[in-house]
Amino acid sequence: MITLTVIKADIGGYVGHSSMHPDLMAHGREQLEKAKGRGLLIDFHVTRCGDDLELIMTHDKGEGNDRIHRLAWDTFMGCADCARKLKLYGAGQDLLSDAFAGTVRGMGPGSAEMEFEERVSEPVLIFMADKCSSGAWNLPMYKIFADPFNTIGLIIAENMHEGFSFEVHDVKEHKKVTFNTPEEIYDMLVLIGAPSRYAVKAVRHRPSGEIAAVSSTDKLFEISGRYVGKDDPVLIVRSQGKFPAVGEVLEPFAFPQAVEGWMRGSHFGPLMPVGLAQANPSRFDGPPRVICMGFQLSGGKLVGPVDMFDDPSFDEARTKANRAAEYFRRHGPFEPHRLPLEEMEYTTMPQVMKKLQGRFSAL
């Protein structure tokens, strides 16, 4: 069995919240190279999306392993020190605790992990988003694994015809429920159509029960009880064979769906699929971005990556995203560009209401 672990954190932005300084990535690579040298990791790849550092690691230690999580935590701490030296913006912002306590869960960084038997050929796709909240994967996961208008394999591939099961998390009440598709899609959509509350955590192949996809559903806002950043989630998807083809997995991103997370984590905007070089959200700190790195696994080695959205076939999606961005921006401080009051991560509501106390009268 091999374990594929992706752990990410915003440990300091360059410039502002738009991108990542090369020194931080170099420190990340150095630390993971050492861990590979002492046999803790089989392989790794360090990348970034916007201002988030992404540690992609393979090993044989299983999910939630404290040595792997400590490695990520210590690496982020070291990167945060580099960020402080350079006076980068928001240095260490996602590291919410001073002391490591077993796993990074609940401590600020986001994580997605899966353990599986590597197949004869094992293509994996890793999606990473910036200026985006954790429920953003609900729509693409639904389309990839339950919508035959996206994934023709559900209809014509014998090994996919029985469908997939979805593990859905209630991110506010910390409960989970599993749905079988296709027969339960109407019930499931009642929940996952509300991505600020319900997030698809994992998808499994029926009837083998094999893991097909895992997302990070960590909500920074909920963790800290105050604004510290955006979830900027990651998603791992296994592809081909009994899982959707690479093209079926990428296809939903041709539609730049509206997601939460733009400017001050308080605005809706289109999720723009981009190649790595374009993952530097700048206009109004956005619009939100998603990148995808594709690998073939070989005995746990990460062969790759291919920068999957660095492809002119996604130009039209980027154009649509820019048009949608312009449409949203023209709403200025009005909904539905701005999030509903209770969802905003910055608010002056308490001060304003205090000031207006005594000035309200009955209608």
Catalytic residues: 10, 227, 230
Instruction: Tell me which residue has tokens 């910055």.
Output: 346
Subset of 139-178 contacting Mg ion (CB under 5 A): none
Would you state the structure tokens that stand for residue 126, as one six-digit string? 């890793």
Q: Which is nearer to ligand F6R, 131 or 337 (CB)?
A: 131
3-state secondary structure of 142: helix
Q: Which is nearer to Mg ion, 256 or 286 (CB)?
A: 286
Would you state the structure tokens that stand for residue 178, as one six-digit string? 């599993």
CA distance 228 to 97: 12
CA distance 51 to 16: 9
CA distance 301 to 76: 23
CA-to-CA separations, 266 to 131, 153, 221, in angstroms, rounded: 10, 37, 12
Partner whose binding site includes residue 204, from Mg ion, ligand F6R, none (CB under 5 to 8 Å by kind): none
Subset of 206-265 contacting ligand F6R (CB under 6 A): 229-230, 263-265
Subset of 52-81 contacting Mg ion (CB under 5 A): 52
Partner whose binding site includes residue 52, from Mg ion, ligand F6R, none (CB under 5 to 8 Å by kind): Mg ion
- The answer to whether residue 131 forms part of the interface with ligand F6R (CB under 6 A) is yes
Q: Which is nearer to ligand F6R, 238 or 264 (CB)?
A: 264
- In the complex, minimum distance from the CB of residue 308 to ligand F6R, in angstroms, rounded to a whole number: 23
Q: Which is nearer to Mg ion, 20 or 200 (CB)?
A: 20
Q: In whole angstroms, what separates CA 60 from the centre of its chain?
A: 23
CA distance 52 to 153: 34
**Length of the chain (residues):** 363
Subset of 271-330 contacting ligand F6R (CB under 6 A): 285
Partner whose binding site includes residue 264, from ligand F6R, Mg ion, none (CB under 5 to 8 Å by kind): ligand F6R
Q: What residue ranges bind Mg ion (CB under 5 A)? A: 10, 13, 17, 50-52, 90, 130, 232
